[in-house]
Amino acid sequence: MSYAPRERPGTGWLLFSSIVLITAGIMRIFDAFWAFDKDDEVGEGLQVLLFDDNLAAYGWLWLIVGVLLIAAGFGVMNGAEWARWFGIIVAAFGAITSFLWIYEFPIWSLVGTIISLLVIYGLASYGGGGAVDEGV
């Protein structure tokens, strides 16, 4: 009699975390391109917590964070232990950079921060020790 292999606990959380990390990374890269394009069009009404009205500085920050998020997402998907801790650090940094725009986009900043916290929970609770699609 053969039994189907049991799914590793937390596989759904790891898949969720890796997909969110990759998607967030892609979105941050799009944000960076937008910031580079709109840097000269910034008005006086922009209220942010860092870099004042310098969108190019935000663009470089978002570009770096985006690449790091994508790398962490693929690492988590492959089950690398380094990616678990790297993903936690990058997701925390992503939450912080999402929260910097709280005055301009309060709902989206909070949503981005909450999703980042869910990724941190998934990686901290179930990360490491095998790829996402492996069975036990």
pTM: 0.76
pLDDT tier at 122 (50, 70, 90 boundaries)? very high
Instruction: Calculate the average pLDDT of the chain.
Output: 80
Which whole number is the average pLDDT over 61-69? 88
74-107: per-residue pLDDT in tens?
Answer: 999 888 888 889 999 988 987 887 777 787 788 9
Show Cβ contacts of residue 56 under 8 Å, excluding neighbours closer than 6 positions: 35, 36, 39
Return the structure tokens found at 20. Answer: 């969110």
